[in-house]
Amino acid sequence: MGTGQLTIDLDAIAANWTALDAASGSGTETGAVVKANGYGLGAARVARALAHAGARRFFVAHAEEGATIRNALGRGPEIYVFSGHMRGDTDMLNDLDLIPMINSIDQLTRHIEALPQAPFGIQLDTGMNRLGMEPGEWMALRDVAVPRNPRLIMSHLASADEPESPQNRAQAKLFRELTAGCGIPRSLSATGGILLGPDFHFELTRPGIGLYGGRPFTEARAVAQLDLPVIQSGTVLAGETVGYNATWQAEVDTPTATVQSGYADGILRALTNKGSLWADGVECPILGRVSMDSVVADISGLERVPHELSLLCPEQGVDAVADDAGTIGYEILTSLGSRYARRYAGRAG
């Protein structure tokens, strides 16, 4: 038996894309970010579902991820690579028709020398100080880059999930100044930026987390369900403890169930004595430390021992788990383990 079943609703992903496309406005195209194996949910199936929904431009973190998407989608859709043109990427970019988002003068030089006819995009740093050309660097290169017709100029918002942050407007203003008169399609917003409104949409948006059911797109349909088989049940007697280092002690006799998944499957150890599993709409608190391959839950709220307990289910989405673990939905999704049996539901993929 596997360590659990991860069910991925491709129709929900397609519906979330359609909703974010509508929110991006009629004059704006909507791409799709499928980096990190489609936020942990399976890049090939996810990308096909998104292409089916209407996405034509896809974004990945590096060239190898782009290769997976190209194999899944065939020729046609554009695939952009956030890390740009790294040493060693040239053949893959060229053979698979991937578009590097150039983020430095070194990369621009490398690209023009190695693949003078190949398309590219430009990534600008408007305040995140993570990736992209600094404003001064870009102004020096603009007259070299723009005549070569980049497919896209993009930047990334640092605080888009905080609508009140003045950083959002400051970045949008700088982006507008840096790209004025270029005549090249621009993209600033991921999921959070789409929700900030039309001033942030430009010609293309690039949602990721919202497609997969995560905040800040609170109206998203849930995408992932994770059911974990119960491998043992019993009663922990008053005074006994559960798990490594005995961090939980029973005050009364407590019926428990042990599921066959643990932190090696992405059930973060931070859920120790904090998170919950669910069955039949009943919350079953996690008792003691999350182990590598197992978790113990309090099933005293249930009438009988269930066949499985769920970590992700209608009652508990990725953000609720993230809150319990002190992290964000992105980390919950991208941590989902490789040992789960994955089942894809819906017709979209």
Ligand X SMILES: *Cc1c(COP(=O)(O)O)cnc(C)c1O
Shortest separation between residue 24's beta carbon and ligand X, angstroms: 12
**Residue tagged active-site, from 35, 80, 212, 344:** 35
Closer of 55 and 242 to ligand X (Cβ): 55
Q: Which member of 208, 213, 275, 306 binds ligand X (CB under 6 A)?
A: 208
Which amino acid appears at position 227 of this protein? D
Active site residue 274: no
Binding segment toward ligand X, per CB under 6 A, in 105-113, 168-176, 190-198, 315-323: 190-198
Residue 154 or 226 with smaller CB distance to ligand X: 154
Task: Give me 157's structure tokens.
Answer: 């918002």
Segment contacting ligand X by CB under 6 A, of 5-13, 45-53, 201-209, 282-290: 201-209
Contacts of range 128-134, beta carbons closer than 8 Å, 24 or more positions apart: 128/155, 128/156, 128/157, 128/158, 128/171, 130/156, 131/82, 131/83, 131/103, 131/156, 132/103, 132/156, 133/102, 133/103, 133/104, 133/105
83 φ, ψ to 5°? -75, -5
Q: Give the single-character DSSP code of 302.
A: S
- Reduced to 3 states (helix: H, G, I; strand: E, B; else coil), residue 284 is strand
Count, residues in the chain: 349
Nearer to ligand X by Cβ, of 207 and 306: the residue is: 207
**Which residue's Cβ has the minimum distance to ligand X?**
208
In whole angstroms, the minimum distance from the beta carbon of 189 to ligand X comes to 8
Q: Could you say which residues in the range 138-167 bind ligand X, by CB under 6 A?
A: 156
* Min CB(286)–ligand X separation in Å: 27
Longest dimension (CA), the chain: 76
Among 46-54, 67-75, 184-192, 254-262, which window interacts with ligand X (CB under 6 A)? 184-192
**Which one from 173, 244, 263, 344 is the annotated catalytic residue?**
244
Q: What is the DSSP letter of 133?
A: B
Least separation in angstroms between residue 41's CB and ligand X is 13
Which candidate, 81, 133, 82, places its Cα nearest to that of 109? 133
**DSSP helix/strand/coil, 58:** strand
Which residue reads 């980049």 in tokens?
Answer: 150
Q: How far apart are CA 170 and CA 179, in angstroms?
A: 14
Stretches 66-74, 187-195, 232-240, 341-349: which one binds ligand X (CB under 6 A)?
187-195
Instruction: Give yes or no for residue 122 binding ligand X (CB under 6 A).
Output: no
Residue of 15, 209, 287, 313 that binds ligand X (CB under 6 A):
209
In eight-state DSSP terms, residue 276 is: E
Identify whether 244 is a catalytic site residue. Answer: yes
Binding mask 23-52 for ligand X (x = CB under 6 A): ----------x-x-----------------
Q: Residue 51: which of 340, 348, 347 has the closest Cα? A: 348
The verdict on 191 binding ligand X (CB under 6 A) reads: yes
> Scanning residues 72 to 101, which ones bind ligand X (CB under 6 A)?
82
Rank residues 32 and 284 by Cβ distance to ligand X and give the closer one: 32
**Whole-angstrom Cα distance, residue 268 to residue 203?**
38
Q: How far is the CB of 72 from ligand X (least distance, A)?
A: 19
Shortest distance in whole angstroms from residue 156 CB to ligand X = 4
Beta carbon of residue 161, minimum distance to ligand X (angstroms, whole number): 8
Q: Are 233 and 222 in contact (CB under 8 A)?
A: no
Cα separation, 132 vs 83, whole angstroms: 9
**Residues near ligand X, by CB under 6 A:** 33, 35, 82, 156, 190-192, 206-210
Catalytic residue list: 35, 244
